[in-house]
Amino acid sequence: MKERARVRGMPIKNLKNSAEYVSQKASSIGAKPTIGIILGSGLGKLADEIDGIRVKYSDIPGFKLPTISGHSGNLVIGRLCSRNVVAMQGRLHYYEGHSLNDVVYPVRMMRLLGINKLIITNAAGGINPEFRAGDLMVLTDHINFTGQNPLLGQNIEELGTRFPDMSRVYSEDLIKTTLSTGEEMGIKLQKGVYVWMSGPSYETPAEIRLLRAIGADAVGMSTVPEAIAARHAGMDVLGISCITNMAAGILDQPLSHTEVIETAAKVERDFVRLIKKVIEKI
């Protein structure tokens, strides 16, 4: 019985240790973050706009390091548009061999840190034929096509209920604010459903036809586990995809991660402007 209790208590204990470490770093610059940001492939430049400090993931207890190009592995804490924020400059992916507990560990740590709003961004492949590479899509919902879930196993009661509702994963208020902000700024925004595939191989044309048939507008290899963990912990979530390429079979050309990074770099100016203005409003 003692062993079972010890094992059950370890996840929340580790998370609290991580949150305490990051809280001390935030306190050293007089910051108490309430907004979290996860920056996807090629979208890390927004972190340069934050007036604060960088903490290496390797220095934070419990954090693992990303291995993918375009993911720096820094936690940036400070002020952005007069708001206290913490931003992940790089994320972990399931396909890297990490457990889903490791993938969502930073999200859970953010909740213990006091984050109540989480902006999750990603690079995604466009499935909707009306989309074009370089578009930004606001997530209205998602499809988990992997059969995996970060909430499997022992529930962490301190974070949320055993069976959380997922009928409103992405905050309607944050979606409305983002769409209206894009219209005000002259930034065209798409909206749609994102589907999570495990990767790391890109999807086949047949798989894309199937995903389109079930209602997906974009496909990627992240975001969904983080969004599930965030909603489980009671956070309001905003999801934004940068459509960096059209998915397999939509256009007659091969897919590459280099294209993902290059396209994200081309749209980063609008992306940074949009996120900064949204943060001002929320």
d(CA 191, CA 179): 9
The answer to whether residues 127 and 248 touch, using CB atoms and an 8 Å cutoff, is no
Cβ atoms within 10 Å, residue 254: 9
Torsion of CA 150, 155, 157, 161, to 10 degrees: 70
* Residue 65: predicted pLDDT: 82
* Residue 43: predicted pLDDT: 72
Looking up tokens 């925004």 gives 189
The answer to whether residues 50 and 79 touch, using CB atoms and an 8 Å cutoff, is yes
Instruction: For the chain, report the end-to-end CA distance as a whole number of angstroms.
Output: 46
Q: How many domains does the chain have?
A: 1
The size of the chain, in residues, is 282
Cβ atoms within 10 Å, residue 174: 21
Where residue 194 falls (left for φ over 0; alpha for ψ -120 to 50; beta otherwise) is beta
Question: How many Å separate Cα 172 from the centre of its chain?
Answer: 17
* Residue 4: predicted pLDDT: 40
d(CA 126, CA 248): 9
CATH of the domain at 216: 3.40.50.1580
The answer to whether residues 119 and 36 touch, using CB atoms and an 8 Å cutoff, is yes
The answer to whether residues 234 and 112 touch, using CB atoms and an 8 Å cutoff, is no
* Residue 3: predicted pLDDT: 40
* Residue 269: predicted pLDDT: 85
Q: 0.85 cut: is pTM over it?
A: yes
Structural domain including 267 reads 2-281
* Residue 79: predicted pLDDT: 96
Active site residues per annotation: 41, 71, 93, 95-96, 123, 221-222, 245, 257
The answer to whether residues 151 and 229 touch, using CB atoms and an 8 Å cutoff, is yes
Residue ranges in the chain modelled with pLDDT below 70: 1-10, 41-42, 68-71, 248-261, 263-264
